[in-house]
Chains A and B, each alone.
Chain A
Amino acid sequence: MSIYFTKEHEWVNVDGGVGTVGISDHAAHELGDITFVELPKIGAVVKQFGVLGSIESVKAASDIFAPVSGKVVKVNDALEISPEVVNESAEADGWMACVEIADVSELQNLMTQDQYNDYLKTL
């Protein structure tokens, strides 16, 4: 498994042809108390950097962008009842959706963990 990040602070953990997607610990911390997560529908086809869903905290509302193109095959619907899980565990239990990756070459447009860590230092 290997994890990649976007500049908008989403992550995708790639295992075989499927990527599990969420927002980074950094993003969850910046948002503060998360109160609502809008998940995509199973079967939806998303484009890399297109809107995948949205997330709201007491402070702000923002879109979640898809790190990769592909078909949504699974969603973490526990977040609909307990969105605070994203604050507690953004990069594990707070995953949002699994996407069947349409084109692995798109991963080149993303940052590795090290690159993302360096990117955070520039913000």
Chain B
Amino acid sequence: MSEQLQATPICGRHRALNALMAPFGGWDMPIQYEGIIAEHSWCRTKASLFDICHMGEFLFQGDFEASGLEDVFTFSVKTIPLGRSRYGFLLNEGGGIIDDLIIFRLAEDKVMIVVNAATAPKDFAAIKERLRGGVFTDITADTGKLDIQGPLSRDVLTGLFGEDIATIPYFKFVTMTILGVEAIVSRTGYTGELGYEIFLPAAKVCELWDLLLKDERVKPAGLGARDVLRLEVGYSLYGSDIDEATTPLEAGLEGFVNFNKSFVGKEALLRAKEQGSVRQKVAFEVAGRRSPRHHYEICSGGDVVGSVTSGVFSPMLGRGIGIGFVTPELASVGTPLVISHERVSMEATVCELPFYRGGSVRA
């Protein structure tokens, strides 16, 4: 893992803004600018701009069924309507999650696949190996991605780029000309707020970044705030909450698996359904301001029954929140748990997701 960190086109601007930088998924990324809580709060009330150029984008063009693409993911690609996107998984033979991803239906025979940064190379290899035809290309290096998220994001974008954006429903996108180039503006995100993901040629991404930040309603936000925002609404983080050793069933994400079609990993999932899971994802709230953290133990009746995969102090709830995996009999809402680490221990209660329900995501 001594590979050099990759830098997004925006990297120089992050440094000029005096951002705290850290490695994430093989990339040198901004963790915070003015502070995680200030950036979190700005996103929940105004509009925040995130540099997401590190994520991977692949293009596939060809016959979805003849090429085998239709059987690659846990959801059907051919039934995604034009101009819509769909979330789901790429699984291994054992039903473990190679990655979670979103597929955008660009044309009758064309999709864009958006994947996590750290997993992009293995995703590309796994998909390519399963294809028998079509043209499959990695466009990550040429593609810039900026997320603008927050209740004012729609006003900001329509002011700059026109009213077409105002009517994009959740999980739909439009292809339009921005700054003289073709861009995809998608009503998706990772914050639980009204927001957009914008894909455009990497050569133009700095220009768009500068333009958006000229609006005083928009401030940059780092991956620190992004992690708090996503956990408050219960989104999984690949590499923490889900990985190749975790199935969508254990992770409570069966809703993104279509058992009425074939896909790699289906037999393993069907077997797992029959046998029952040995562990189950739970969400829990802590009584107090302490934060559960990744790898803290989850205990019940003095025994270790699982571990925390994500945890933060939630500014919206004013208490610690977390996600972890426990034995299934402890997964029902209301079950008391103890989160423990060294001399720290916190009382917690299993709760429903999302933790925070006040977001503008469907506004």
Contact = CB atoms under 8 A, between A and B. Distances in A.
Interface string A11-53: 0000000000000000000001101101000000000000100
Interface in B98-124: none
A58 B312 contact: yes
Classify the secondary structure of B's interface with A: mixed
Nearest to A51: B343
Contacts of A58: 36-37, 224, 228, 291, 312-313
B289 A61 contact: no
Contact of B36 (A32, A56, A61, A83): A32
Contacts of A51: 343
Which size class do B's interface residues fall under?
Answer: 10 to 19
Contacts of A32: 32, 35-36, 224
Contacts of B344: 54, 61
B288 interface: yes
Contacts, number: 40
B292 to A, nearest CB: 10
A59 B228 CA distance: 11
Contacts of B37: 33, 35, 58, 84
Interface residues of A, number: 13
A59 B224 contact: yes
B290 interface: yes
B224 A56 contact: no
A59 B288 contact: no
B14 interface: no
B293 A61 contact: yes
Interface in B103-153: none
Given A36-B313, A54-B344, A56-B313, A61 B291 contact: yes
Contact of A36 (B224, B228, B288): B288
- Chain B CB within 10 Å — which of A35, A36, A51 has the most? A35
B341 to A, nearest CB: 8
Given A58-B224, A58-B228, A58-B313, A36 B35 contact: no
Contacts of B313: 35-36, 56, 58
Contacts of B291: 35-36, 56, 58, 61
A59 B311 CA distance: 11
Interface in A43-87: 51, 54, 56, 58-59, 61, 83-84
Given A32-B32, A61-B344, A56 B290 contact: yes
Interface in B279-310: 288-291, 293
Contacts of A35: 37, 289, 291, 313
A74 B87 CA distance: 54
A56 B36 CA distance: 14
20 contacts: A32-B35, A33-B35, A33-B37, A33-B38, A35-B37, A35-B313, A36-B289, A36-B291, A36-B313, A38-B290, A56-B289, A56-B291, A58-B37, A58-B228, A58-B313, A59-B224, A61-B291, A61-B341, A83-B289, A84-B37
Given A33-B35, A38-B290, A58-B36, 13 more contacts: A33-B37, A35-B289, A36-B288, A36-B313, A54-B344, A56-B290, A58-B312, A58-B313, A59-B36, A61-B290, A61-B293, A61-B341, A61-B344
Interface of B: 32, 35-38, 224, 228, 288-291, 293, 312-313, 341, 343-344
